[in-house]
Amino acid sequence: MDILAIESSAPRGSLALWRDGQLVDVRDFQSERAHNSVLFAPLDVLLQQAEELELIVCGTGPGSYSGVRVGIATAIGVSLARGAPLIGMPSVCALSHAQGLDRYAVCGDARRGSWWWSVVENGRLTLPPVVGTLDETAAAAAAWTGHIFTVDAVSPPCCAATPTIPKAEILAAAAAGFSKSAVARLAAQPVEPIYLSAPFVTVSKQPVFA
């Protein structure tokens, strides 16, 4: 079956087309803040190669707020247009340098002086991102006995983490191993971004008219 994977949680995003146990094509794209301006050209190339999409999988982060949302919105649009089920998977389950590891941790900058920490075991996010202070995250890293990765460009100061990026082809390969019942169960769930904190919203001031 044809599987389309979309991963846009990092500045370097990727798209992959998987068919019958093999990678047909993969396309990378680079954008710091505007994935919507560079994603659709490579997406069109893969959609032209797809014979019949039977599944779409999208990375849900954590990562770039706008990047993850663009990826999910695009996946929803393709799902509706092609009539293919859509499932979401945490982007941290598809790290390029973590393949072959049964368990690993991921650490990153959560902004505003905070950091996040999560754990992946056997391809599943067993500890969703926990946001804490630098000292709290450093304590979690000190107690960890396995590999630590980060999706940031450099390692956080609280640990020695290996920088890496999520890859669409890893999402596609993982989804290809799901049973039909698992796909049906996951497709019944809404695809939502993994937020590190609640969206920061302010109420605009009412205009004052003289």
Q: Which CATH architecture has domain 2-93+166-187?
A: 2-Layer Sandwich (3.30)
Taking only the tens place, the pLDDT of each residue in 95-131 is 999 999 999 999 999 998 999 999 999 999 999 999 9
Quick check: do 2-93+166-187 and 97-163 share a fold?
Answer: yes
State whether CATH 3.30.70.260 applies to domain 97-163.
Answer: no
Q: Which two tokens stand for residue 33?
A: 């803040």
Taking only the tens place, the pLDDT of each residue in 40-75 is 999 999 999 998 999 999 999 998 888 999 999 999
Domain residues of the chain, as ranges? 2-93+166-187, 97-163
Taking only the tens place, the pLDDT of each residue in 121-164 is 999 999 999 999 999 999 999 999 999 999 999 999 999 999 99
Characterize 51-74 residue by residue with b for buried, 16 or more Cβ atoms within 10 angstroms of its Cβ, and e for exposed.
eebbbbbbbbbbbbbebbebbbeb
